[in-house]
Structures are given as structure tokens and as C-alpha cells.
Amino acid sequence: MERDIAKLVYLEAVLKETFRLYPVAPLVERHTDKDLKLKKYTIPAGSDFMVYYYAVNRHPMWGPDAEQFRPERWLDGTAPTNPNLFASFGIGRRSCIDFQPFVDKVLKIAQEKEGFTDEKIKHQLNTIVTAGYDTTANTPTWKKNRKLLHPMFGLQHVRRYLPVFNLQARRLVERFTEHENKGAFNPELHVHVVSLESICHFQPFVDKVIKIAQDNERFTDENIRDELKTIVLAGYDTTANNRDVDKDDIPKLVYLDAFLKEALRLYPVAPVVARHTDVDVKLKKHTIPAGSDFFVVTYAINRHPMWGPDAEQFRPERWLDGTAPTNPNLFATFGLGKRSCIGRTYNMLSMKTTISHAVRRFRITADISKLVLKQDMLLKPASGQHIILEPRID
């Protein structure tokens, strides 16, 4: 009965403690319209900034056991009285509006399921809230999965998808035709539709992954889900006359390659990624202790001063004239080191094919100064990026 919900006091404490330690959104972006005065700093009006909910929820004001799972803190009066220190569902007026209904549903399920204990709820919530977020798989699991999947993303194998890329590029050009000479428009919907069609052609790849799983007992359903989610999500968001593009054309698209790298340098799809360290990592001025979870801000790496005084400018020529840094880790869009994006070749080949079809058909212009970005899981235009199409050929 709904009237019993209020009696499930300890269960509610378990839920809150789980979300405190494992917030679904550990990092969110905010914008301030006026100066925001903090204790030691002032955030100027017009600033975009990040709020680190994960750290707020583990602030020292939670006590010496802030890192421990202890639901009792919500019942014995030791939890902080400041509501802003529990940031899992947001802070202030922009907090999540669905918090209480969600908690009520979980409590109702617990009430109706015999033997559904507090410990089981804690375990399930840990699994649920971290499943979509965790990018820090343990090293043995990651190595095993990467070894099995790596051959499928080699250049030779990815080239087999060129007919699909060409087909979808032609379809996108057809959809764009209705906007010729009609002023600025947002191409986002067209790109998403064509991207989803491409994913449908991805079925043979899915079948191969499943076969790998069948042949390898330790390649679990969860492994399959995580790998496909990573690949499809990346492919979906990075994908934006004549004859088709073939494998011999790709090495010749030198300026297009530089153009794409420069665009992805300034606007990485994943501007922040999570990592976990099994050993102490020594940096120039700091050491990250073993067992730490931390964030790598790829957006900042890609605009590091080592890119030169024009680091904030879009200049594809830097990739051709020798002025781009020689250290490969300063281009972090596809990740760093062994855990870099396995789908890089696939994504780049897809984008090159699509853009080569589009620019042969249209003259494309846009005003980059009007681009406003937002970040949820990925970095995206807040309201699309409008472009203007003019026919290149009659």
C-alpha cells in the first residue's frame, strides 16, 4: 500500500547513501548570467563552468567516513544539514524534478518483492547507476576484450564498410537538397536519421561480436553491451558528385584529414573522460595515488599552450605545415594510450566519405561564432549548428 512508503525509513536511507557515493551525473555544466561570489573566488557573469557533484557528495563536511557506505548517517543526525551537500539530483531550482517519484517506485518494488532486502537493493542500485557511466573497466577485462575486438577495427576490415558509408552519404546529400538556396537550417535531424540507418547496416558487425562471445566463455553479455554501447554511441555522435569514394581515394584526402582533426581538436565529442589507476601515477607536480578515480579533461589538453598562441583558433593548416605538436598525447579526442578509441578508424573513414560527397554537391557555409555548446554525456551544439547550402554544380 502507498501509505506504507513513509514507513520504509531505512530503505530510503540506503537509496540516498547509494546515490551520494555513486551519482549518475558526477559532473554537470552550468552557466551564470551574473557574477557568482564564492568563498575565495568570483565566477564572472557569462561564464560556463563545471560542478563536480561526485566531490560535493564526498566533501569533508560529511565527516571522516565520507568515503564509506553508511546509511545510518541519514538517521542518526550525522549527515550534514546543508541540503546542497547532497548533489546527486542537482542543486537549487534546476535539481531533478523526478527524484521523489523514482525513490517511491523503488520503495514500492521492495515492498512487493518478498526477500528483496536492503542489501540487495544497494547492490542493484550500485549496478544500475554505475553501468551507464563507468569507463574504468579493470585492466584484465579491458585487455581481454580489446584483444578479441581489435582485428575487427583494423583499416583493412573497416574498408569493407565503404559501400555503406557511400550509400548513406548519398542519402544525406539527397536530404540536404531540399535546403539549397533557402538560407540557414539545422542539419541535425538529417544527420541523425542517416546515422541511425548506418547503425542498422552495423548488424553484421554485431553478429560477429556475438560469435566472439559464444567462442569465449568469459566474454559476458555485459561485456558485449559495454563494447557495442561505446562503439555505436561514438559513431552516432561523430558522423555529422558523383562517383563513390574508394579505398585509393582515402590517402589523398590530406586536407580533409587535417580539417577533421582540427574540428575534433577544438570540439571533442567526449570533453571529459573517467579513468582509474591501479598504481601511483607521478605527474610533474603531483602524484595520483593508486586506487584513485579521476577525470581527464580532453577539451583542455586539446587547447594546451603547446599548440601555440593560436591554440583557440580553427586552423587545419597546423596539421600540414609542421606547427602541430609532435607529442601525440596532446591530441586527446580519441583518448590516450592503450585505451584510446577502438573505433577511430571507422569514425574517420565514415566522416571523410560523408563530407567528400557533401562538398562535391554543395558550397557549405556557417558562422562558427554563433555556435553555443552544451555538455551532458557528450559535447553537442545547444540548439544545432545552422549551415547554408548553395549548389556547386547545376
**Residue positions in the annotated binding site for heme?**
341
Q: Distance between CA 147 and CA 216 in Å, rounded? A: 12
Q: Distance between CA 212 and CA 300 in Å, rounded? A: 37
Binding annotation? 341
Q: Distance between CA 54 and CA 278 in Å, rounded? A: 20
372-376 long-range CB contacts below 8 Å, 24 or more apart? 373/48, 373/267, 374/29, 375/29, 375/271, 375/272, 376/25
Q: Distance between CA 319 and CA 154 in Å, rounded? A: 23
3-state secondary structure of 192: helix
What letter would DSSP give residue 160?
Answer: G
Q: Distance between CA 363 and CA 291 in Å, rounded? A: 52
Classify burial at 3, counting beta carbons within 10 Å of its beta carbon; exposed 0-12, middle 13-18, buried 19 or more. Answer: exposed
Q: Distance between CA 64 and CA 67 in Å, rounded? A: 8
3-state secondary structure of 75: coil
Look up residue 154 and give its three cell numbers.
583494423
